[in-house]
A and B are shown apart, each in its own frame.
Chain A
Amino acid sequence: GQQLNQSPQSMFIQEGEDVSMNCTSSSIFNTWLWYKQDPGEGPVLLIALYKAGELTSNGRLTAQFGITRKDSFLNISASIPSDVGIYFCACYPYSGAGSYQLTFGKGTKLSVIP
């Protein structure tokens, strides 16, 4: 099945620094989603990307859908303590009628040092 390679696995950064994480795959995807999950809670949707090359912002967050449809990145600017959590990329396969499987990356654990 499709696999998403998400990196880095974990990050320790100083408050105020910018953060960048990405997901790559050998498969083509139609939609890229970025979620944030706090401990013991469900994932919260941050950004959804639908078209190759699309660049979308949500406050301090910016994400892009790679032109090859095989990758996406998420940037967080001027990090703050509440950015701490696990960030997941997720997407659906490009083709396959009846395919409902949302594939997740393994996550990037972000720690922010005040």
Chain B
Amino acid sequence: DTEVTQTPKHLVMGMTNKKSLKCEQHMGHRAMYWYKQKAKKPPELMFVYSYEKLSINESVPSRFSPECPNSSLLNLHLHALQPEDSALYLCASSRSGKNYRQGRGAGTEAFFGQGTRLTVV
């Protein structure tokens, strides 16, 4: 099973709304990630959690707030977004945070969810 589940699949929100994106995996992976993808562009890393602790924040604006309640769940809380934040938001996980850090060997490959298509109006 290499499934990463994201909900919702689509989300439309106003600039004053607060919403959350959810991600779940049951592969025992200890590293989880949020990516943002604009049309016709590759995914861009936003946040990395390793063993439920935030390891990387790629200078993401504070209107995006990640949370990792446990090793299987990852949330992205959204507040006061701008229209330019409209994009496909992808969650991913990989088997071992340690292997991922060292970037070698099996376990470093990241598995992605199907994404949440976010539209900010």
Contacts and interface: CB of A to CB of B under 8 A. Distances in A.
Interface of A: 29-31, 33, 35, 40-45, 48, 50, 88, 90-94, 96-102, 104-107
A45 to B, nearest CB: 6
B42 A94 contact: no
Chain B interface residue bracket vs A: 20 to 34
Contacts, number: 78
B106 A30 contact: no
Contact of A100 (B42, B50, B106): B50
A43 B43 contact: yes
Contacts of A41: 114-115
A88 B115 CA distance: 16
Contacts of A97: 101-102
B14 to A, nearest CB: 22
A105 B83 CA distance: 26
B43 A100 contact: no
B110 A33 contact: yes
Contacts of A91: 103
